[in-house]
Structure 1
C-alpha cells in the first residue's frame, strides 16, 4: 500500500514537472480573476503555483494561481514563420484576369482614338497656301494734326494780342471718303506671314472764329476752308499657331507698321480787320495750311481664325508702339483795299511724337470656287500722342522770326499749350473685296 502511494505521488510530481516545462503558445487567452478582473494575455509559462503571462503591451507579469478563478483558452496562435517575406495578394481567377484585360483594352482604345484624332487634326491643319486680298470701300480719318496746330497757334496768338482779341478753332468733323487695301498672306504649317498696304481719304472743314482789329477797336475775324486728309499705311506681320486645328487657329503676332498722314488746305480764306499795327482797316486774303505726319514702329498682339460651315472669320488685335514727326505750315497772304496794305506771315512747326495705340481688324470670308473668295471687313485704328521735341518758327515778310518771341513761343508750345491740345487720331474703314487663294498642297 505504501508503495502504491509513493507511485501516485511520483506520477503527480512528474506531471507537474512536465506541465511546468511546457509553454502554452496561445493567442488572446482570457484570465478571469477572483477579484473580478479580466485579463487578456498570452500565457508564457506556468507551474503548479504560478503563471507567467505576456500582456498586449509586450510586458510580462507573474500571477498566483490562487488568485485565478478560471482561464478561457482560445484557438492557439499560429507561430509566425521565420521568413519575414510579405505575403503577396491572392492570385486572381481567370475570370478576373479576363475582365481586367478587357477594361485595360478599352482604356487604351480611348487613348489611341484621341491620339489618332489629334494627329489627324494636325495633319489637316497643315498649310502651304498663298492668298491675295484686294478691297475697296469707304472710311473716315479723324486726324488730330490740323486742329491741334490751329489750336496751339490760336492760343499763342490770343495771348500776344490786346483788347480781348482772340482766335478759336472749331474742331472739324470728318466726312467719309474712299478706302482701299491690298494684302499678301502666306501660310506654311504653323507659320503665317503677311504684308500689305492701305489708303483712306477723308474730308473736313476748317473754321476759325475770333475778334481782331486795330488798337482803336475790335471786329469779327473768320478763317474758313475745306481740306482732304489722306492716310497711308504699310505693314508686315508674322504669327505662329499655338494649337493647330482645321476649324480654328489662334496665333500670337508681331509686326512692323508705318503711317503717313497729310492734309492740304489750299483754299482757306481769311476775313478780318487786321493784325495791329500792320493793318488799320479791314482786310481779306488766303490762309493755306499744310500738315504732315509720319509714324513708324512695332506691334504685338493676337490673331484668331475660325470656320463656320462655308464662312471663315479672321480677327486681329495689334498693340502699336511708334515714334515719328509732325510738321505744320501756315501762310497768310492778306490785302487791305482801303489802305492798299499787304501782309505776308508764315508759321512753321516741326516736332517729334511718341504714339501708342491699337489696330482692330475683322474679315468675313465666303469661299466661292476656283480659289476665289469674297470678303467684307472692318478696320479700326487709333493712337494717342506724347510730344518729345519741337521747333517753332514765326515771322513776318522780310523780318524773319523774333528771337524773343521764338523762345517764348517754343516754351509755351512744349510745356503748356501743346500737351493740353493733344487729341487722338482715329481711322475707320469698311470694305468689301475678293481673295484669290492658291494651295500648293493640291
Structure 2
C-alpha cells in the first residue's frame, strides 16, 4: 500500500494498479478503483500517512467538501422615478439658455400717429420698412416649491435681439432714417398653483400670478438724411431711447403629460392682464451740409396704456436621475395695447418748443388731444419668443 498526497490536501491509501505518462489507476484501502490525473498528485510515499493537526484536518475536510464556487448574480438596484404627486415636499430649480427675439412697439407708434394726423392736411405719410430682428442669447430661470397639492415660486427670463429701423418720407424732398440697435426684455413672475387632477400619466394645475416686464430699445447711432432737388441738404445724428414697464395679473393652466418613467411633456398657458407706461426720446444734432448752423433737437413721448395677451410655454423633459432632468422647449409672449394717454413734444435749441404757439396754448392742447385720440385707433402690439435648453434639479425634503 502507498500513501498518495493530493494537491488539494486529500490523503489516499491505495495500491497502484496501472499508470501512464499522464494518469494513474489505483485501488483504495476501501476497495474502490479510482483513476487520477498525475497533475492532481503532490507526492507518493511508501510510509503511513502523517497525522495532521486538527487545524490541518479541518482545512483538509473543507478542501474535500469544497466544490467550484457558484457566483450568484448581484441584482442591479432598482431606480424609482415615480413621484407621488400628493405627497410631494420638494423644491425644483431650473435654468436655461437659448435664443431670444423681442419685437416691441416703439418708434413705429408716433410715426403712425403723425401719418394719420397728416392725412387731414394732405401730408405724404412716412413709410417704415419691415424691421429685422436677429436673435441673441436668452436666459430663463425659476424655483418652484411644492407641498402636496400646492406649488408656488418665482420664474423669470431675459432675452433680446438686434433690430433694424428704416423709414423714408417725401413731405418736402426726401427724408431717410436708419438705425441698428439692441432691444432687451426682462420678466419676473410670482405664481401659485393647485393640483386639481392627477393620475399616473397626467397632472393639471390651475395657476394665478403677478408678472412684471421691463423693455428697452436703445440706438446710439440713429442717422437721418434730408434730401432736396440739389442733393443732400441736412444731416442728423442722434440717440434713441425707449423704456417700457408693464405689470399685472395672470391666470392660466399647467399640464404635465408623462410618457413612461423618464419623459414628460410640460405645457403652460397664461392670460396676461397688464398695465404700464412707455417713455421715449430721440436726442439728435441737425446740421446743413455747409455747417452754417447746428441745432439740437429733442423729441419725447410719454404713453400710458393697458395690454391684454397671453404666454405659451412648452418643455420636453428627460429625467436623467430621479432628481436631475434636462429639457428643451420654447416660450412665446404676445399682447395688444389699449392706449390710455399720449403726450408728444419736440424741442429745438434754435426755435424752442416746435408746434407750440405760446400766445394760443389752447391750440397746442387740442393738438395733443387729437394725437391721443388718433393713437387710440392705432393697432399696437408686442411679441417676444425664446428657444431654450436647460437643466432642472429637484431637492427633496423628508418630513419628520
Q: Tell me what 1:211 maps to.
A: 170
Q: CA deviation at 1:242?
A: 1.3
Task: Provide closer, same or farther for how the CA distance between residues 287 and 412 of structure 1 changes in structure 2, counting only shifts above 3 A.
Answer: farther
What do the CA deviations read for 1:41-70 (whole angstroms, capped 9, x no partner)? xxxxxxxxxxxxxxxxxxxxxxxxxxxxxx
Quote the offset at 1:338 in angstroms. 2.5
Residue in structure 2 matched with residue 83 of structure 1 by the alignment: none
Partner of 1:424: 381
- Aligned: 1:145 with 2:103: no
> Does residue 335 in structure 1 map to residue 292 in structure 2?
no
Q: Which residue of 2 aligns with 1:293?
A: 244
Matched, 1:362 2:362: no
Q: Structure 1 stretches (4+) deviating beyond 4 angstroms? A: 121-124, 153-156, 158-162
1:340-396 alpha-carbon deviations (Å, 9 max, x no partner): 122222211111111111111111111112722101121011000101122322222
The separation in 2 between residues aligned to 1:193 and 1:161, in whole angstroms, is 56
Tell me by how many angstroms 1:151 deviates. Answer: 2.9
Structure 1 contact 394–406 (Cα < 8 Å) conserved = no
Instruction: Give the structure with the larger helix fraction.
Output: 1
Q: Give the one of 82, 91, 94 matched to 1:130.
A: 91
TM-score of the pair, normalised by structure 2: 0.71
**Alpha-carbon displacement from aligned partner over 1:200-240 (angstroms, at most 9, x marks no partner):** 1012111110125xxxxx42221111121101000011111
Question: How many residues were matched structurally?
Answer: 309
Q: Is residue 386 from structure 1 mapped to residue 386 from structure 2 by the alignment? A: no
**Pair 141,392 (structure 1): closer, same or farther in 2 beyond 3 Å:** same
Secondary structure of the 1:335 match is strand
Is the counterpart of residue 413 in structure 1 residue 360 in structure 2?
no
Aligned counterparts of 1:122 and 1:377: Cα–Cα separation in 2: 22
Looking at structure 2, the residues matched to 129 and 339 of structure 1 have their Cα atoms a distance apart, in angstroms, of 69
1:308-329 Cα deviation digits (max 9, x unpaired): 1110111111111111001111
Q: Write the distance in 1 (CA, Å) between the matches of 2:83 and 2:353.
A: 70
Contact (CA 8 Å) 2:265, 2:314: kept in 1 or not?
yes
C-alpha distance 406-246 of structure 1, shift in aligned 2 (>3 A): farther
Separation (CA, whole Å) in 2 of partners of 1:160 and 1:318? 42
Change in Cα spacing, 1:230 to 1:405, as seen in structure 2 (3 Å) is farther
Q: SS of the counterpart of 2:197?
A: coil
CA distance in 1, matches of 2:318, 2:178: 46
Distance 2:388 2:369 in 1: 44
Partner of 1:373: 325
Gaps of 5+ in 1: 1-120, 213-217, 275-279
1:222 and 2:222 aligned: no
Which structure shows the bigger proportion of residues in strand conformation?
2
- The DSSP-based 3-state class of the residue aligned with 1:148 is helix
Q: Distance in 1 between matches of 2:91 and 2:330?
A: 22
Q: Name the CA distance, whole Å, in 1 between partners of 2:334 and 2:289.
A: 46
